[in-house]
Amino acid sequence: MKRLKITLAALGLSAVSSVAWAAGNPLSVHVLNLENGLPSPGVHVTLEQQVGQNWQMLSQGVTNEQGRIGELFPAQQTLKAGEYRVVFKTGEYFKKAGRDTFFPEIPVIFEVKNADQHYHIPLLLSPYGFSTYRGS
């Protein structure tokens, strides 16, 4: 029950503060560990855009102490409608923690229809499962 309360509190803070973190950047991510209800710092994340049948790398980053990357989209580019993929390198994260995981990386493919909006992708993570959704 305590873990659930911590997780729900973290999710609430995530939703409220993601806009503040994004300050002008159209894409942010947040990784939370469901086992302990805490942020997941040190997760490597890549952003790619689908171009034809291929994925083109746009940027990469590492989650901070709050488990966030507030500005994942490259500052020198403009977000356009299309399909994008965020890949969370979870295997590296769990290996550093001395834990096994079933998912060495988690790709999240999403479609941008309105390039004027902010897109926030939270990842709720455990060694043998995950969940994600479109945040605000």
Question: Is residue 120 part of an annotated ligand binding site?
Answer: no
Asked whether residue 99 is marked as a ligand-binding residue, the answer is no
Burial class, 13, CB count within 10 angstroms (exposed 0-12 / middle 13-18 / buried 19+): middle
The residue among 60, 82, 84 whose CA lies nearest residue 72 is: 60
**What is the C-alpha to C-alpha distance for residues 50 and 48, in angstroms, rounded to an integer?**
7
Q: Is 68 annotated as a binding residue?
A: yes
- Point out the annotated binding site for substrate: 30, 68, 133
- Point out the annotated binding site: 30, 68, 133
